[in-house]
Amino acid sequence: MNNVNLTINGAQYEVPGNLTVLEAAREVGIDIPTLCFLKDINEVGACRVCVVQVEGARALQASCVLPVREGMVINTNTSRVRNARKNTLELILANHNRECTTCVRSKNCELQSLTEELGVRDIAYTGAKRTPSYDDLSPSIVRDSSKCILCGRCVSACKNVQGIGILDFMNRGFETTVGPAFDYSMKDVPCIYCGQCMVVCPVGALSEKSAIHKVWELLDDPKKHVIVQSAPAVRAALGEEFDYPIGTNVTGKLATALRKLGFDKIFDTNWAADVTIMEEGTELLGRLQNGGVLPMITSCSPGWIRFIEFEFPELLPHLSSCKSPQNMFGALAKSYYAEKQGIDPKDIAVVSVMPCTSKKSEIIRPELEVNGIRDVDVSITTRELARMIKEARLDFNNLEDGTFDPFMGDYSGAGVIFGATGGVMEAAIRTVADVLTGEDLEQVDYTAVRGVEGIKEATVTIAGKEIKVAVAHSTANARKILEKVRAGEADYHFIEVMACPGGCVNGGGQPIQPASVRNVIDIRAERAKALYSEDASLSIRKSHKNPEIKKLYDEYLGKPNSHKAHELLHTHYYKREKFPLE
């Protein structure tokens, strides 16, 4: 593409000809405010906040969808432009539920920030407001249409990024709202609860169903032995809630914060990730050697599990029977740990801190319990943990680095990288390769499965045998792979699928970064770096080399996939009706 010459605010610039005016202005250091725009996800020019004045054009133009042209003369800062932007904001605010002080997104709201930045102090318009609908019936997502500004980001994230389409615009004109068909509750539609709609929402219209009060209740109960587990991706993003740069690993402060909140044991889902590798790796070897159903597909991501149950139920036999690390942890805390410590499992409560909103729905799946005891009692997101830390008045930034408790808290580098797309695959290959060769291989980095490309394929040769693998993240990419599997065109042995783009580091429960950040930084890649660097820094990087894992099998489970392991750590899936309602 050739360069073009243009004038912005009186100065001349040469920019690549394939840019929009918004991008060109950013390139030369001129900031244009945006609201509905989110790079790669929502580029529709709907809100009109990014308008600029273009010489020769009658009306102001939306710069986010306006391509640059040779000789264009643009003004981004005239009183006409400033007034138009303010006017637009005032109109949006006039139909917005402005209970900002108690809103879950207060201080992290793009509408609130813009209102402040553009200097809107009075709202000239008063009048009717759209009839609101409020839905908190699902286990994961709360939808409050009184806050919705109709930007369409959630619609695009659900339909285009995830390939599902639960949310869409309905009705028209003043009565337009965004929601599921027929204004159904999110609990009655084939939503996978991935939460990608929430992390792109600029305001408080979509948020997680908070379970903080349940955690405080457990911590207040002297009869309960409360164990917390924290997922790999949490440590890669929690720092963002306390102004650390994106991609800062805060493992040490996380451990200290959990201890100060009053949990009785501070354990780590990374440990359970190592258990998962033992079980899933053994299952894969079994399928390879005994002619089992191939390709085998991972089962850690509950959003992904809901997706395949709704959309491809005939392919359920391809799923690994392994519970997710969250639930393996819960089942072992209330059996292995309880037995070794002499605590009645009924007195143990397991709280999980997850980068995920779908985990809230996973813990209430009826089959995820052992002998009538639920694997996990409460699941909160990274965001909810940050709120608890703030509410407890902990000075997070000045906490000393702590460590997780032994017994179920030591982990290998393989467990850490579960939080990034390709991580489970790489962790599994590390163990499977050692088992097949009977050696302790030095090679542990399988970089072909790393990175943010939507579908990654690799062939790994182990002990003279070729193993074909694929990694997909986002359910839209998963759909592409599943269609190949269904058509018999996929000769993979093993597939990793994560429901969220980038894997758990970009889960629906992670800290929310505004478009101003997401437009210029790939948060998936930055957060993943925090995990890969922790992996590289550890001396033990293979799950089966973790001494605590060896102990678990020697003293309790016997062998991976043993009868006891099956009872505690494996599960089953079922077809879900997409349209259950009459």
Partner 1 sequence: MTKSYLSEENFATLHKAIDAYKDTQGPLMPVLHEAQHIFGAIPIEVQKVISERLNVPLAEIYGVVTFYSQFTLEPTGEFLISVCLGTACYVRGSQQIIEKVTELIGVDVGKTSTDGKFSLQATRCIGACGLAPVMTVNDDVYGRLTVAEVPGIVKKYQETH
Catalytic member of 151, 300, 322, 356: 300
Query: Of the two residues 26 and 159, which places its CB atom closer to partner 1 in the complex?
Result: 159
Tell me, yes or no, if 158 is annotated catalytic: no
Q: What is the DSSP string of 62-116?
A: EGGG-B--TTEEEESS-HHHHHHHHHHHHHHHHTS---GGG-TTTTS-HHHHHHH
The maximal CA–CA distance of the chain, rounded, in angstroms, is 81
Residues interacting with partner 1, by CB under 8 A?
Answer: 159, 164-172, 179-182, 189, 578-579, 581
Q: Which is nearer to partner 1, 182 or 574 (CB)?
A: 182
**Looking at this protein, which amino acid is placed at residue 319?**
L
Catalytic residue among 359, 456, 542, 545: 359
The Cβ of residue 171 has, within 10 Å, a number of other Cβ atoms equal to 12
Least separation, in Å, of the C-beta of 550 and partner 1? 48
Least spacing, CB of residue 155 vs partner 1, in Å: 8
Instruction: Give min distance, CB of 159 to partner 1, in A.
Output: 7
Nearer to partner 1, 166 or 297 (CB): 166
Q: What's the distance, Cα to Cα, between the start and end of the chain in Å?
A: 54
Please say if 280 is a catalytic residue: yes
> What number of other Cβ atoms are within 10 A of residue 245's Cβ?
9
Please tell me which residue in 23, 309, 311, 362 is annotated as part of the active site.
362
Q: List helix spans (H) across 421-573.
A: 423-437, 475-486, 515-518, 523-537, 547-552, 563-569
Contacts 24+ apart (CB under 8 A), 116-120: 117/33, 118/33, 118/82, 118/85, 118/86, 118/89, 119/86, 120/86, 120/89, 120/90, 120/93
Query: Catalytic site residue 63?
Result: no
Give φ, ψ of 7 to 5 degrees. Answer: -115, 125
Closer residue to partner 1 in complex, CB, 43/168 = 168
* Candidate list 23, 241, 279, 280, residue with the active-site label: 280
- Quote the least distance from Cβ 170 to partner 1, whole Å: 5
Nearer to partner 1, 550 or 575 (CB): 575
Locate 556 and state its tokens: 């309790």
Q: Is 391 exposed, middle or buried (0-12, 13-18, 19+ CB in 10 A)?
A: exposed
Catalytic residue from among 283, 384, 426, 496: 283
- Give the E-state strand segments of 355-490 in sequence order: 369-370, 373-374, 378-381, 455-462, 465-473
Nearer to partner 1, 184 or 244 (CB): 184
Shorter beta-carbon distance to partner 1: residue 181 or 315: 181
Q: Which pair of structure tokens corresponds to residue 71?
A: 């000789």
Shortest Å distance, C-beta 579 to partner 1: 5
At 569, list the tokens: 């750590």
Catalytic residue among 320, 352, 358, 379: 320
* Structural contact between residues 37 and 52, judged by C-beta atoms closer than 8 angstroms: no
Residue partners of 142: CB distance under 8 A and separation at least 6: 134, 135, 136, 206, 207, 208, 209
Nearest partner of 167 among 134, 191, 136, judged by Cα: 191
Give the nearest distance from C-beta 182 to partner 1 in angstroms. 6
CB hemisphere CA count around 201 (13 angstroms): 29
Strand 369-370 and strand 348-354: pairing? unpaired
Q: How far is the CB of 180 from partner 1 (least distance, A)?
A: 6
The CB-of-120 to partner 1 minimum distance in angstroms stands at 30
Side-chain-side CA neighbours of 175 within 13 Å: the count stands at: 4
Q: Which of 151, 324, 504, 526 is catalytic?
A: 504
In the complex, the smallest distance separating the C-beta of residue 158 from partner 1, rounded to whole angstroms, is: 8
Q: Are strands 296-297 and 494-498 parallel, antiparallel or unpaired?
A: parallel
Q: What's the CA angle centered on 264, arms 263 and 268, to 5 degrees?
A: 75
The question of whether 362 is a catalytic residue gets the answer yes
Collapsing DSSP to helix, strand or coil, 449 comes out as helix
Angle between helix 325-332 and 269-290 (nearest 10): 110
Please provide residue 486's backbone torsions phi and psi, each rounded to the nearest 5 degrees.
Answer: -65, -35
Of residues 45 and 180, the one with the C-beta less far from partner 1: 180
154 is catalytic: no
Q: What would the two tokens of residue 358 be?
A: 């779908």
Active site residue 359: yes
Nearest-angstrom CA–CA distance, 157 and 167:
9
CB of 162 or CB of 519, closer to partner 1: 162
Q: Which is nearer to partner 1, 93 or 170 (CB)?
A: 170
- Residue 154 Cβ, how far from partner 1 at the closest point, in Å? 11
Task: Give the active site residues.
Answer: 280, 283, 300, 320, 359, 362, 367, 504
